[in-house]
Amino acid sequence: MEDQVTIEIPRALYDEIKEMAEKRKTQDCRATGDPYYYCVEHEIHIRSQDGDDLKFYDTRTQKHIGIEELFEYMTREYDITKEEEMDDLEDVISSHVAEDIEAYVLEEYGRLIEGYYVTKRHVHDNVFITEGACEEHIRKHGHIYKNPFSYVEHALYSREMMAVVKMIDTIGNAEAHLISIITEQAPQ
């Protein structure tokens, strides 16, 4: 039998850990082995030499515009109404060549727009023990992410994560009378 240590924890913390342990028993680990955790997966766009998408930056309005919106944006912002001008603009945009589009806009309208490529990457942020906590975070803070969703990761060979998960599960499975709970805040 292992040596045992007695710890005292506040009731609210005990209740929270107990709830995490209960949720861990019933949540979908998505076929991921223990120790696992949830995180927020979302998209970021990184400027690159040749990427997934061509975008433009209008130095006059300080707006970033995707290639798909560029024609509509240019006709609106630069008040392009003549059909011939619209056809020329549409032709040069359809080339998807940043340098050609930049040169055309500079020559025809005296405006500087800078073309650049972005590469999409999926990144993981934050760490949650339970799926519910991750989903709640996305509901509350999803506006700061692009296309967020919960994702399960395995903390392969992470001794610290294994210890944290084991502690949560141990406290969650312990009988309440075996845990010393502080009912008042201890003086510091």
Assign residue 80 a region: left if phi > 0, alpha if psi is -120 to 50, beta otherwise?
Answer: beta
CB atoms within 10 A of CB 36: 19
CB 54 within 8 A of CB 114: no
Residue 17 exposed, middle or buried by CB count within 10 Å (0-12, 13-18, 19+): buried
175 vs 170: CA distance, rounded Å: 10
DSSP state of 53: E
Verify that 130 and 37 share a domain, yes or no. yes
Verify that 24 and 83 share a domain, yes or no. no
Q: Which residue has better confidence, 22 or 176?
A: 22
Residue 33 lies in domain: 8-43+122-182
Verify that 114 and 136 share a domain, yes or no. no
The residue written with tokens 């919960």 in the block is 150
Is 187 within a domain? no
State the amino acid at position 118 in one-letter form: V
Verify that 51 and 115 share a domain, yes or no. yes
Looking at residue 142, its pLDDT comes to 95
Q: Could you tell me how many residues make up the chain?
A: 188
Verify that 51 and 109 share a domain, yes or no. yes
- pLDDT score of 178 more than 70: no
Looking at residue 183, its pLDDT comes to 56
Domain boundary (100, 119, 138) is at 119
Residues 6+ apart with CB under 8 A from 142: 148
Q: Which residue has better confidence, 67 or 187?
A: 67
- pLDDT score of 177 more than 60: no
Is 3 within a domain? no
Verify that 36 and 61 share a domain, yes or no. no
The tokens for 178 are 């075996």
Cα–Cα separations (whole angstroms), residue 122 to 6, 45, 142, 154:
43, 9, 15, 17
pLDDT (tens digit per residue) in 103-156? 888 888 777 788 888 898 999 999 999 999 999 999 999 999 999 999 999 998
Q: Which residue has better confidence, 64 or 184?
A: 64
Verify that 101 and 143 share a domain, yes or no. no
Q: What pLDDT band is residue 161 in, cutting at 50, 70 and 90?
A: very high
Looking at residue 122, its pLDDT comes to 94
Beta strand pairing call for 113-128 and 8-10:
unpaired
Verify that 13 and 26 share a domain, yes or no. yes
Domain count, the chain: 2
